[in-house]
Every structure is written in structure tokens, then in C-alpha cells.
Structure 1
């Protein structure tokens, strides 16, 4: 009888790393600081996948989100910032799912369809949420728009809630 390999599932790991690289590329186009923070984040996500550790993946994803914030603060367009935030969440969620599936079913289990549907659903929900955020961003509130700070606060609360729920 062969032993089950409990490392993260392949498809989810690949999706997570591709999404993390996309977040890095989007943020890095507008800010050297975002590029540096994002690169460290991608490397830490990869390390978390290699070690099958949720906490390390979460730290790397948090750094990726920090690169999104840095790019936004340094002039990245709202669409790029929102898109980068969505793929950051996809990277974190796909990596976490890959670790869970590997631990529960083993790396060799046929989970490709499950992982792709899960990642696609995460991307869809993130895109719809980003679209709503974009729509709110377009609403003028007099001379001083409070939309951006309020949306940033909501995003931080949502991410904190996701990280807290994951533990």
C-alpha cells in the first residue's frame, strides 16, 4: 500500500501562485514600494504552500494586500487597485484551500474541478464586490469625497474578518 502525500493540492497551489504574481504585477506597475512589498508577499505565500502552513500563507497574503494599499496610495487607478485586491484574496483563498485539500485527501486526489470552481467562485464574488466598490467610488459626496476612506475601512474589516474566521 502506498502512503498518502499530505502536501497542498497542485491545482490550488498553482492558482494561488499565479494570482499572487498577478497582484504583484498590477501593484508593481505603479509603485516600487508596492513591488518590493508584493515580492516579499509572493515569496512568503510560496513558502507557506511549500510548508503547508496557513499562518505563513496568511502573512504573505497580508503583505500582498499591503502592496495593494501602497500602490493605491501612490497613484494606482482605482480599477487596478480593486483588481489587485481581488486577485490577492483569490491567492489567499486558493492557497488555504490547497493546504486543506492536501491535508484531508492527499496531493494525488482528483480535486482539479473542485479547486477551479472554488477559485472561480471566489474571483466572481470578489469581482462583483469590486464592481460595487467602483460604483460607490463614482458617487460624488460634495467637494470632499468620503467614499475612498470608507471603502478602504470596509475592505480592511472584511479582510480582518476573513483572516479571523479562517483560524
Structure 2
């Protein structure tokens, strides 16, 4: 005698809370470099990030409408979101005067887009792969920003740790979605993971500052090396 099935469809897309936190921390990672004050074309940087944020918002809204059965409107908003994101890429390539800023801004906006596509998700496949690529590019953009604008070590530490937290929280969003489903009551579980990750991240920032020359206002090359080592060690600890 066959066992009847419940017919309930489980939504295995990435969990909302952790996914949203990952996208917001991606913005924090880019903003941490943007506020250094030494980057040229700061107004263009903020305008580009704002335009991309609008595009990502449209992508998320379009995905939600498609999930609710409003496919035509959802696809329209998704296409509009992709177009707006392309405009942001264009601003990153054409507007900044310094070549280093152009490269940093382009890498950062592409990274934020890939993270958002992974955790929204715009597509139902390869969320984990897209997240890894986006997180690596985001981390690279922070280091690139440090080379372009050699600013305060504390700001770059925040940016680099935020980039690693993007990967951690995104991975948690994907894992929770796969195991429990997007609509399961997972808020407490996700909040616990978020708090623990932010705590470890804060410890990593403090440790990086303690072992560097906190009395200097500019980021020297040795301090930059300390930054890289600190965040890599943080990533290993977080993974384990």
C-alpha cells in the first residue's frame, strides 16, 4: 500500500535573513573603501553604488513576483533590474578619472551583483558557485582599494572582514534553504549565526589593529600585509 504524499512544495532557495545580511555587508565592504577620502571621483562612486542598489532591488522584486505566479510582471522587473545594473557597470568604467578607481569600482560592483544573484536568487542553480566567485571578487576589490588609496588600516580591515562575512552568511543562507526550506521558521537560527559571525569578525578587526601600528594615520605596506594575513586567518577560523 503506497504512502500518500502531502503535495506540499518546499522552497529550497537561500534563506531570506542571511541572504539579505550578506548583500548589505557587501555594500559595507565597498563603502568602507569609498569613505577613505583619498579616492578620486567620490560622488561618482556613490552614484554608481546607488544605481546598482536600485537594480538589485528590482531583481529581488521581480524574483518575488515570479514566485507568486506573476510571471510577466516579474520578468519585466527582472529585465529592468539587469538593465539598471548594466548602467552601474557603465558608470564604473567611464566616469572615474583614475584607472585604479575604475578597476576597483568595476570589480566591486560586479562582485556585489554576483552575491545578490546568488542569494536572491535570480536563477535557481549554482547559487553556491556564484556566491564564491562574488565573495572572492569582493575581497579582492577591498585589497585593490587599499592599494589605490592607502588609507586608514581600520577602515580597510572593516571592509575585508565584511567581504569574508558576505561569503559566510551567504553560505549559511544557501545551506539553510537547502536543508530546511526558505519558508521554514529559521529566524532564530539565522540570528544566532549572524551574531556569532559578527562577533568573530569584530575580534578579527580588533586583533588586526592591535598587531599593527595603530598610531599611524596612513596604511603602510607592512600594515597592508598585516591586513591580508589577518583576514585570511579569520576566513580559515570562520570556515572551521
TM-score of Structure 1 vs Structure 2, range by shorter chain: 0.7 to 0.9
Aligned to 1:81: 156
Aligned to 2:77: none
Q: What's the Cα RMSD here?
A: 2.5
TM-score (norm 1): 0.84
Matched, 1:70 2:140: no
**Structure having the higher Rg:** 2
Aligned to 2:108: 38
Distance in 2 (CA, whole Å) between partners of 1:57 and 1:149 is 26
Aligned to 1:136: 211
TM-score (norm 2): 0.60
Q: How much has 1:76 moved relative to structure 2?
A: 2.8
1:101-143 deviation digits (Å, cap 9, x = unpaired): 0000001011112112211211111111111111111279xxx
Distance in 2 (CA, whole Å) between partners of 1:100 and 1:62 is 19
Q: How much has 1:73 moved relative to structure 2?
A: 1.1
Q: How much has 1:149 moved relative to structure 2?
A: 2.1
Distance in 1 (CA, whole Å) between partners of 2:106 and 2:221 is 30
Q: How much has 1:154 moved relative to structure 2?
A: 4.9
* Number of equivalent positions: 161
Instruction: Specify which of 25, 32, 36 is matched with residue 26 of structure 1.
Output: 32
Q: Secondary structure at the match of 1:7?
A: coil
List aligned pairs for 1:14-163, cutoff 5 A.
Answer: 14-30=20-36, 31=39, 32=101, 33-49=103-119, 50=121, 51=124, 53-74=127-148, 75-138=150-213, 146-156=222-232, 159=235, 161=236
Aligned to 2:11: 5
Provide closer, same or farther for how the CA distance between residues 150 and 81 of structure 1 changes in structure 2, counting only shifts above 3 A: closer
Single out whichever of 146-155 and 6-15 deviates more from structure 2: 146-155
